Amino acid sequence: MAAECLRTIAHPCRLRIIEILLKEERSVGELAEACGIPSNMASEHLRLLKDRGLLNSRRDGRKIYYWVAEPALAMIMNCVGKKFICKD
């Protein structure tokens, strides 16, 4: 259901994560720092996004890198962030 995926995206940390990952892949620790949250919370957000097929991940040594798996996210983020919807 579309509503479920929108809810998944609709969280400040997850929007920030998606925004970053649209540029390039990142590790959990990097994303956690960028969002100002502990890494276990970042991990939880990433799990939610990955469970819905929005992200993919790969391990490289001790780190795990995530990237955007769903191209539509770029369009959604373009709508959301660029000029639309509840700009402050």
Partner DNA sequence: TTGACATGTCGGAATGTTTAGATGTATGAC
Partner DNA sequence: GTCATACATCTAAACATTCCGACATGTCAA
DSSP, collapsed to helix, strand or coil, labels residue 34 as helix
**Phi/psi-derived region of residue 24, left when phi > 0, alpha when psi is between -120 and 50, beta in every other case:** beta
- Under rule CB under 8 A, residue 9 binds its own copies: yes
The interface with its own copies within residues 32-61 (CB under 8 A) comprises 52-53
Min. distance of Cβ 81 from DNA in angstroms? 18
Looking at the Cβ atoms of 15 and 64, the one nearer to its own copies is 15
Q: Does 29 bind its own copies (CB under 8 A)?
A: no
Strand partners, 66: 26, 57
